[in-house]
Structure 1
């Protein structure tokens, strides 16, 4: 069963929409005082640390009223960091397949030139981890302008069909909402109520039997207690509710003796461990050759 290709993707952050320039008549330019020399990034970090410490003291001293002051100070610090070059320029996505990466970027909700120091990395991580593709997520800020999103992607196990709908599930039966089942034609098909929750228990056993897997069309969950294997030629293999692997070993021994998988059958009942019941396929009705009809007589 193919695994999703994983690697690292570098994605440029999405640009913000620029506000159109004003069409109002501009006032004559005025002489502006000379600007102060631009501070180095390390100096800005030292100043910002001092301001944050002061803001925390104000917040503790004034209660909830100080929160407004702290928020305003935070916005000012973000701006100073932005002036020093700490703005988002690129996003690296690690551990995600090409299909999952766009959904992860969209969930992150970051844009080019966002202040990098002002980002809530925990909130961003939670948004990414809410994506169906993602099992675990970690977000790292790399100064001055890069964000790294490292994920562990869920392993796509099968396509589950139930109540007329098809979805992709992982090896724990969780639905990967963003995955399009049409793009996973090579995954096994699981059908029926309870199939998603129990597919991870039997599929590893079936994968060890490539000859059987090559003929398998669908795994059908019966009464949410046992499985039927429906083959591509229409044959049916009925498995017991317990000791499925033992039943599959009986099938292998039968195939070694009689090549039954190659010859074909209508049904094999493995539900009773003491008796293997095989219903052979009914022979096809013989074809009867018919003589061509004579040409119509002249003048008819």
Structure 2
């Protein structure tokens, strides 16, 4: 399910591969108001592509192709017809989409909610039996503490080994960048331990909320469901809160939420209120071991083609 860190993982892979291969990302496009196959262009928004694909396009669109399509088995040939030079597809959230053969399966598992302790929906959050983990070429534990107790590390690897055998297990954590203004016309600064309002609409906001609480004095949280398409009414509610407080508190949000706010840029709330988003990066332990394995596979496939 959502919240395991798929988006920062895809961005990590884009940064890793974009200089050596002609890349395309392919996502379902959750939350978009369009249907069918679509390749991102400068006229697209989060409403037409979905928040995650549009985020990829905003950050990497000059170097890669960003595609969406409910039926990935149909979307891939459509993308190749549009751009025949594509060499590598990064399938976002496609572990259970088995109609498409793939060369490298990466299974992400949240450090605080590992798959081997979870259950199938609706009891738990797994989309399939734990046995499905055996299809993975490697497992990456996401949202790990930066310093993991060695005993705990060994226990996690031992639990995963019973499903994957000797396939590698990697640990990763999220690194937070400096705040960025969403709307450049507002020059208000975000002060350390200053008062803020937090706005999120992501699957698991636990780490983000914890990070914000450690750096700022959070006065109010506006929490929405994952992929929520923000409305004028949502912004009206936030503006009403600001008026009640008689102070223009800065709003802090995630990068994924930011791309969905852009369509509401003309709302009066944003004329007076500074909005900041916090970019994140995926930090992988034993990175060289992972990258050498991946590049070796890609070169082997390239030589066969």
Q: Could you say whether these structures have the same fold, taking a TM-score greater than 0.5 normalized by the shorter chain as the test?
A: no
Larger radius of gyration: 1
Normalising by the smaller structure, the TM-score range is under 0.3
Higher relative contact order (CA 8 A, sep 6+): 2
What TM-score, normalized by structure 1, do the two folds share? 0.19
What TM-score, normalized by structure 2, do the two folds share? 0.19
